[in-house]
Chain A
Amino acid sequence: MDLGDDFKVSSKGKRKSYEVDYDSLSQSAVEKSMRDDAEHIRGILGVENDTAKLLLRHSEWNKEKLIESYMDTPTKVLVTAGIILPEVDPQSTPTPIRTQTSNSSSSRRPTRSTSKLLSSLSSGSRSSKSSSSSPTNHYSPPKVSKLSKSDEPFVCPICFDDDPKLRTMALSCDHSFCSNCWTNYLASKIRDEGEHYLRCMAEGCALVVPDGFIQSVLIPEPGAPIGDPAEEAENAKVWARFQELLVRHFVGCNPNLKFCPYPSCTNTVSCPSAASKLSLTTLVPIVSCGARGIGGQTLSQSQQSLGLQGKEHLFCFGCPIESDHRPVVCPVAKMWLKKCRDDSETANWIKSNTKECTNCQSTIEKNGGCNHMTCKKCKHEFCWVCMGPWSEHGTAWYSCNRYDEKAGQEARDSQSRSRASLERYLHYYNRWANHEQSAKLSVDLYAKTEKKMEEMQITSALTWIEVQFMKKAVEEVEKCRRTLKWTYAMAYYLAKGNEKELFEDNQRDLEKAVEDLSEILESPIEPENIPNIRQQVTNKTVYVQKRNEIVLEDTANGFLDGRWKWNATVDGFDDPDPSAIAL
């Protein structure tokens, strides 16, 4: 019976145990689900679209919490989200800059008709206010108004422009500014500060600028007089950036979603199975956003001629490592990378080339001379060979006849433990680093392979499609080296035992197969043995592919079964058996 139909499977068919289910979403797809959420909220709460959007942003897209709190105290929610102004005694909100503050804050509600009345009352104030003709309530879309002649000339309180043709705009708080200042303000906040929650420009005003207002400021309405094209292009860019910031905020609030970390990529990946921290101990959520290459970067000549669109955007959904770290789970991969960073080259050199004074633990490098060491710091005298105190040697040090002295033995023990631990680490590190290096050289290998593919098309009767086996082989080698690299990080932390031996057997088989294939790919090509090579490479590629699957699948199953035991404390796993703890 095929259970596959009952499960959601990826487009590639049956999902392997080392793969996770995920969906790649474009920016517009994410925007659509944002719109759906806003629509949902709009329907339930009966508010305007812009209000729904601001409410959702304010509640970090937690719909349930938003609906609950809105049902309880709608006014309070609207006030804290910056959608309406709080009901306060006008006298208690002094705003030092605007002289007509008390009038404007009382005039903001309930309708424009009263506000008009009050604005005529405040005609004695220094800066006058714009007034619009249509009666609107305080959720109103932007008010764009030309000044009526009866009012005192409007002076923008920011740029001090008093051009009578000035276009002014205000939120429902009636703090009017000229449209140029609005544009500059919004652009500065969005572009330079990356803010998406923008407040009114007036000091202390808590109203948040709704999306519709921002759009009307940045994007000229159809039929509007044509402005400076460079400026309009810049504003359109700011508007696009604003959209992106909203998407990023939405994605950041949702644990099922993650933004593609590749530069200038705007795709999002949805992977609900890896959303909880606990799931990261049983699976390695390597996902791809579906895009390739780096936006705006032109591909090199060789890459282009190979028809490569650049690298696939592979990344881990569970941790910040921006590459495929299968088969190792995130906590182990993170531990390993941290260890590699901490145990830098310097530390390695110190550990392999120096010894510690057995008395004061100062690090000493012996740079020549005899083995009678005198510590510069504590003046302790000891033998470099046996690390025992020099006093026990007397004058007959050559035979080091006190070799079994207890003091010397202990000193050597602790020293050799530290060396052994270092050697163990270096064993794994060197192999790890080697595979990383080889994977980096794969670009060269691509170029070489490309040349070989051309040669083959010339020297043999093979067509373009028939020489693709070379490219496939190179890609497979690179993929397997990535796996191999991480198997060393895994093996370093695996507790000794049968499981580890089986793991290392699989690792060895894969490594051998990869090296064999690599060698064939690098060897010179004679026209007469091309069919032979083709046969060999194709066979080996299939074999390598299989070995890689075995390693990935077996390791992934091991995580699902909880089969792997560690020799160190790993985040999210049980503490290791004391006997298994490595040096």
Chain B
Amino acid sequence: MDARLRRVNKEIADCKNDKTSSIKIEMIDESPFHLKGSFVGPEDTPYAGGKFEVDIVIPESYPFQPVKMKFLTKVYHPNVSSQSGAICLDILKDAWSPVLTLKSTLISLQSLLCSPEPNDPQDAEVAKHYMTSRGSFEQTARYWAQIYAGAPGGDGKAVKQVDDEVAIAGLEKAHVDQFESLGFPRGKVIDVLRRLNYRGANVAQITDDRIVEELLK
């Protein structure tokens, strides 16, 4: 039997038999080379309790070349693209070793959520947010986990629809309101403030004129 097929089948079976772990791997269709993995967000992180799904593609030369993974669930994390779910993790690139398995790679992803690496970011805007104001970043990450990964959230339903965009962008409602009241469309205000990283200590450093200038572009 093809070594790659044997290995992948065994990996899937092992994962199924392991009832204690929170890691799951399922088939999407008939092919064992395109899978969907999922794990639970680690405790004591903004991602706690969420269910994170990962798209898994097994390349032809697996396990000698790394498996291809990206998040299907939207994640607010410096090393994960907030748009595409692409992941920046060394073991998915040069640090890959053939002894790593799908399960161990998913565990690595899980631990990546515990320990972001903002100096080697996949999403520069999120990384900036993380660096400037940790508290606000965690709030946004938690909010994303609640609405996209189904993490338990105290006031998940209480948040009004209008504020969703503001919270998703990790901004302060007061700031957005301030510039919206100048007559700029809300979406544009959010876009500009997010790009400028108008959060925490940065708020004092960025002048209103600079923002208006960006808004007028």
Q: Residues on A close to B: CB < 8 A?
A: 96-98, 157-161, 175, 177, 180-181, 184-185, 188-189, 192, 201-205
B3 at the interface (CB under 8 A from A): yes
Residues of A within 8 A of B98 (CB): 158, 177, 181, 185, 201
Residues of B within 8 A of A184 (CB): 3, 61, 64
Contact of B3 among A157, A180, A205 (CB under 8 A): A180
CA distance A204 to B107 in the complex (A): 16
Contact of B65 among A160, A192, A204 (CB under 8 A): A192
Supposing A188-B64, A192-B61, A192-B65 touch, asked if A98 and B7 sit within 8 A by C-beta, the answer is: no
B63 at the interface (CB under 8 A from A): yes
Contact A96 B65 (CB under 8 A): no
Contact of B100 among A181, A192, A203 (CB under 8 A): A203
B99 at the interface (CB under 8 A from A): yes
Contact B99 A157 (CB under 8 A): yes
Q: Taking chain A's interface residues, is the majority helix, strand, or loop, or is none over half, making it mixed? A: loop
CA distance A184 to B100 in the complex (A): 16
Contact of B104 among A96, A181, A189, A202 (CB under 8 A): A96
B136 at the interface (CB under 8 A from A): no
> Of all chain B residues, which has the CB nearest A188?
B64
Residues of B within 8 A of A159 (CB): 3, 6-7
Contact A97 B65 (CB under 8 A): no
Residues of A within 8 A of B101 (CB): 97
Contact A96 B107 (CB under 8 A): yes
Contact A203 B6 (CB under 8 A): no
Residues of B within 8 A of A205 (CB): 97
> B145-178: contact bitstring with A at CB < 8 Å (1 yes, 0 no)?
0000000000000000000000000000000000
Contact B61 A158 (CB under 8 A): no
Q: Using a Cβ cutoff of 8 Å, how many contacts connect chains A and B?
A: 47
Residues of B within 8 A of A192 (CB): 61, 65
CA distance A201 to B3 in the complex (A): 16
Contact B6 A158 (CB under 8 A): no
Contact B97 A203 (CB under 8 A): yes
Q: List 5 extra interface pairs beyond A180-B3, A181-B3, CB under 8 A.
A: A159-B6, A160-B6, A161-B3, A185-B98, A203-B99
Nearest-Cβ distance from residue B198 to partner chain A, whole angstroms: 36
Contact A201 B99 (CB under 8 A): yes
Contact B64 A202 (CB under 8 A): no
B10 at the interface (CB under 8 A from A): yes
Contact of B97 among A180, A188, A204 (CB under 8 A): A204
- Listed by A's residue number, 16 A-B pairs whose Cβ atoms lie within 8 Å are A97-B101, A158-B7, A159-B7, A160-B6, A160-B10, A161-B6, A175-B99, A177-B98, A181-B3, A184-B64, A188-B64, A192-B61, A192-B65, A201-B99, A202-B99, A203-B99
Contact-size category for B: 10 to 19
Q: Among B3, B6, B99, which residue has the most Cβ atoms of chain A within 10 A?
A: B99
CA distance A330 to B63 in the complex (A): 46
> Of all chain A residues, which has the CB nearest B3?
A159
Contact A189 B7 (CB under 8 A): no
Contact A158 B65 (CB under 8 A): no
Nearest-Cβ distance from residue B91 to partner chain A, whole angstroms: 8
Nearest-Cβ distance from residue B25 to partner chain A, whole angstroms: 16
Supposing A159-B3, A184-B64 touch, asked if A202 and B107 sit within 8 A by C-beta, the answer is: no
CA distance A192 to B99 in the complex (A): 19
Q: Among B3, B10, B64, B101, which residue has the most Cβ atoms of chain A within 10 A?
A: B64
CA distance A201 to B98 in the complex (A): 6
Q: Among B97, B101, B104, which residue has the most Cβ atoms of chain A within 10 A?
A: B97
Contact A158 B10 (CB under 8 A): no
CA distance A331 to B21 in the complex (A): 63
Residues of B within 8 A of A201 (CB): 97-99
Contact B104 A188 (CB under 8 A): no
> B98-133: contact bitstring with A at CB < 8 Å (1 yes, 0 no)?
111100100100000000000000000000000000
Supposing A201-B98, A201-B99 touch, asked if A185 and B64 sit within 8 A by C-beta, the answer is: yes
* Residues of chain B from 24 to 69 with CB closer than 8 A to chain A in the complex: 61, 63-65
Residues of A within 8 A of B99 (CB): 97-98, 157-158, 175, 201-203
CA distance A161 to B61 in the complex (A): 17
Residues of A within 8 A of B97 (CB): 201-205
Contact B104 A158 (CB under 8 A): no
CA distance A161 to B6 in the complex (A): 9
Closest 4 CB pairs of A and B: A188-B64, A203-B97, A159-B3, A97-B99
CA distance A205 to B97 in the complex (A): 9
CA distance A205 to B7 in the complex (A): 22
Contact of A97 among B6, B7, B10, B104 (CB under 8 A): B104
CA distance A97 to B99 in the complex (A): 7
Residues of B within 8 A of A204 (CB): 97
Residues of B within 8 A of A203 (CB): 91, 97, 99-100
> Of all chain A residues, which has the CB nearest B107?
A96
Residues of B within 8 A of A177 (CB): 98
Residues of A within 8 A of B104 (CB): 96-97
Residues of B within 8 A of A160 (CB): 6-7, 10
> B1-27: contact bitstring with A at CB < 8 Å (1 yes, 0 no)?
001001100100000000000000000
Nearest-Cβ distance from residue B12 to partner chain A, whole angstroms: 12
Residues of A within 8 A of B6 (CB): 159-161
Supposing A97-B99, A181-B98, A201-B98 touch, asked if A158 and B63 sit within 8 A by C-beta, the answer is: yes
CA distance A184 to B65 in the complex (A): 10
Nearest-Cβ distance from residue B2 to partner chain A, whole angstroms: 10
CA distance A189 to B107 in the complex (A): 25
Contact A188 B7 (CB under 8 A): no
Residues of B within 8 A of A180 (CB): 3
CA distance A185 to B65 in the complex (A): 8
Residues of A within 8 A of B10 (CB): 160
CA distance A180 to B4 in the complex (A): 12
CA distance A157 to B11 in the complex (A): 11
CA distance A185 to B10 in the complex (A): 19
Contact A189 B100 (CB under 8 A): no
CA distance A98 to B101 in the complex (A): 12
CA distance A123 to B63 in the complex (A): 27
Nearest-Cβ distance from residue A147 to partner chain B, whole angstroms: 19
CA distance A98 to B10 in the complex (A): 17
CA distance A157 to B98 in the complex (A): 9
Residues of A within 8 A of B61 (CB): 184, 188, 192
Residues of B within 8 A of A158 (CB): 7, 63, 98-99
CA distance A177 to B98 in the complex (A): 10
> Of all chain B residues, which has the CB nearest A181?
B98
CA distance A185 to B101 in the complex (A): 15
Nearest-Cβ distance from residue B23 to partner chain A, whole angstroms: 13
* Residues of chain B from 86 to 102 with CB closer than 8 A to chain A in the complex: 91, 97-101
Residues of B within 8 A of A181 (CB): 3, 98
